[in-house]
Structure 1
Amino acid sequence: MKLLLTAAGISNASIRNALVELLGKPIDEATALFIPTAIYGIPGGAQILQKVISGSLGDPFCQLGWKSLGLLELTALPSMKQELWVPMLQETDALLVGGGDCQYLCYWMQQSGLANLLPSLLQKMVYVGLSAGSMTMTRYGTTYGNHTLPAESKKSLDLMDFAIHPHLDHEWFPDNSMANLEKLAATLPVPSYLIDDQTAIKVTDGTVEVISEGNWKLVNP
């Protein structure tokens, strides 16, 4: 299983090099699918989505120079036969999962059937998460609550036995100070990685490595 769990995308050379290592080939020789679903759970999501795809907001993610880039919208998949979209995933080198609302993303990963397929897909494919797209793979997720999902809907898939708290000390997220995130991490029963936008968590077959040109901290329970 190969994952690159970022706070904000491919924000520096170290994270980019980690992505190339996981892919086993240059980015311009690799194919990617982008899942935008989580963004619809926050205000102005459609406009944010356009900027993320075009590369005009945040760090490079979709606009990394992929050989090809496709869009996979999870909310559409339950009404489609799997033979229309599963082969696309099986032939793709990287799955790019964008940020937004963890609970909304997790719900549609489960409803679409993608959650059940991920363990086998990730034997070959590289999973690249951004913010909520990273958090949903761990034991901790958040929600903006701008949806009508069942109250018992999970916020994360629990595939990784740790938590990620992204956007450490980011000006857009005033509550994400080191002190505040440390307090939050202390309430969780699993290790927590507090990471800024220059940091990512690389997972290779269970081995966890922090890739960073910024600030981060590991808080153990």
Structure 2
Amino acid sequence: MRLLLTSAGITNPSIEDALVDLLGKPIAESNALFIPTAIYPFPGGAGAAWRAISGQGRSRLAELGWKSLGILELSVLPSIEEAAWVPTVREADALLVGGGDPLFLANWMRQSGVAGLLPKLRSEAVYVGVSAGAIAATSTFVETYTEPPRAADGPLKSEETVFATPEGDVRRTLVTGQGAGLVDFAVIPHFENPQHPDASPANAEIWASRIPAPTYAIDDDTAIKVTDGKVDVISEGRWQLFS
């Protein structure tokens, strides 16, 4: 399948053009499934999921004018027959994977069976990841947490690390997790975003040093487009590759 990994969704014409190119047809002729799973661990997650699905969230994704838009909630899939949902995933032109907690998302990608299904989808299908949705597509990723994450979500490694922010040094739990392995590089979203000081250039370098793969730090106006293994950076903003 093809991928478009973003920090904040379809934020500018260049990223939207890349999406249309990956789809091979207009968005208005494409069927999509939205995966809101990653947002639920956060306070107010249910409301945030509704806003994202209804096109009122921070990331422009669901409101692009899809021919049809369905909801795929990963946490319910283990409790229903695969025959009820696998054909729907196989038929979709795009899977829209929203942001939130990448460790929680990656865990449910595995438990639901979606992680194993994704590499088997037709080559024209497009995985569109936003923030955690982009992170979880990779093989190995790193994320920071103010509180230790749930052990049930399967962190590979946790360590206490000090990050520099405009308000001073802060201590975070730096967690290494296992993603779906759809690409052989890693992603750090929200690069140089003041609302995400952990993703400053200096702090992103700390993240990247823990990842055994090339790591792209991308801002909210940047996306990574993957077509048949070929990687292109689509940007109207700033990005950096840590190799």
TM-score tier by shorter-chain length is over 0.9
Q: Deviations over 1:80-137 (max 9, x none)?
A: 1111101111111000011111111111111111111110115231100000111111
Q: Deviations over 1:163-189 (max 9, x none)?
A: 100001112212221121123213322
Shift of 1:160: 1.3
Shift of 1:57: 2.5
The total of aligned residue pairs comes to: 220
**Is 1:172 the counterpart of 2:172 in the alignment?**
no
CA distance in 1 between partners of 2:106 and 2:100 (Å): 11
SS across alignment from 1:89: helix
CA distance in 2 between partners of 1:150 and 1:40 (Å): 13
**Segments ≥4 residues shifted beyond 3 Å:** 143-148, 150-155
Q: Larger radius of gyration, structure 1 or 2?
A: 2
* CA 143–71 in structure 1, closer or farther in 2 if over 3 Å, else same: farther
Q: Report if the CA contact (8 A) 1:36-1:99 is conserved.
A: yes
Q: Report if the CA contact (8 A) 1:93-1:125 is conserved.
A: yes
C-alpha RMSD over aligned residues: 1.7
Aligned to 1:160: 183
Q: Which runs of 5+ in 1 are unaligned?
A: none
Shift of 1:151: 4.4
Aligned to 1:27: 27
- 1:204 is aligned, of 206, 209, 227, to 227
Letter matched to residue 52 of structure 2: V
Letter matched to residue 9 of structure 1: G
Matching of residues 1-221 of structure 1 within 5 Å: 1-138=1-138, 139-142=140-143, 144=145, 145=148, 147=150, 149=152, 151=154, 154-220=177-243
Q: Which runs of 5+ in 2 are unaligned?
A: 157-176
Shift of 1:23: 0.3
Shift of 1:158: 2.6
Shift of 1:55: 2.3
State TM-score, norm by structure 2: 0.85
Letter matched to residue 166 of structure 1: P
SS across alignment from 2:152: coil
Q: Report if the CA contact (8 A) 2:39-2:98 is conserved.
A: yes
More strand by share: 2
Letter matched to residue 91 of structure 1: E
Letter matched to residue 142 of structure 1: E
Q: Deviations over 1:180-206 (max 9, x none)?
A: 112321332211101000000000111
